[in-house]
Copies of this chain bind each other. A is one copy, B any other.
Amino acid sequence: MAELTLAAANSIIAAALEAGAEAGFKPLTVAVLDAGGHLKAFQKQDGASMLRYEIAFGKAYGSLAVGMGSRWLDKNAKERPHFIEGLTAVSGGRIVAVPGGVLIRDAAGTLLGAVGVTGDTSDNDEICAVAGIKAAGLVAQVD
């Protein structure tokens, strides 16, 4: 499996939302992107606020931009904020540098895409992203 299928993307979303429901998290929004940064599948739970698509996309897109989970971006934003500001600028304003964006790899380590989750705390969002990826039999990279 060298490409992210729609079936896999839908599985990731379903499992991420289930993980959030079991933990009692707030309404979640989940975006799954392919390795080129293009949206593959997306769901926004009832009660989620207006700009949640943009936030979920931005976490996943930022992860793909640098080849690291968005937790790495979050750390960099604190240590050298001007790098993340520059990255945000050259991306055309598509990056949200907080945890919850997680790279999706297959067992061989090939990059398939990224998932972005938003709605609860960033740490909880990341937990759901990882749960979704694992439930689909794939490998999650958070930083």
User: Could you tell me which A residues sit within 8 Å of B by CB distance?
Assistant: 2-3, 5-6, 9-10, 34-46, 48-51, 53-55, 57-58, 62, 64-68, 74, 77-78, 80-98, 122
Contact = CB atoms under 8 A, between A and B. Distances in A.
B94 A58 contact: no
A88 B87 contact: no
Contact of A89 (B2, B5, B37, B58): B58
* Oligomer: number of copies: 4
A6 B44 contact: yes
Nearest to A119: B67
Contacts of A57: 90
A51 B97 contact: no
Contacts of A66: 49, 51
Nearest to A114: B50
A117 to B, nearest CB: 15
A36 B39 contact: no
Nearest to A94: B90
Nearest to A43: B41
A51 to B, nearest CB: 4
Contact of A88 (B9, B46, B62, B89): B89
Contacts of A82: 74, 77-78, 81, 84, 97-98
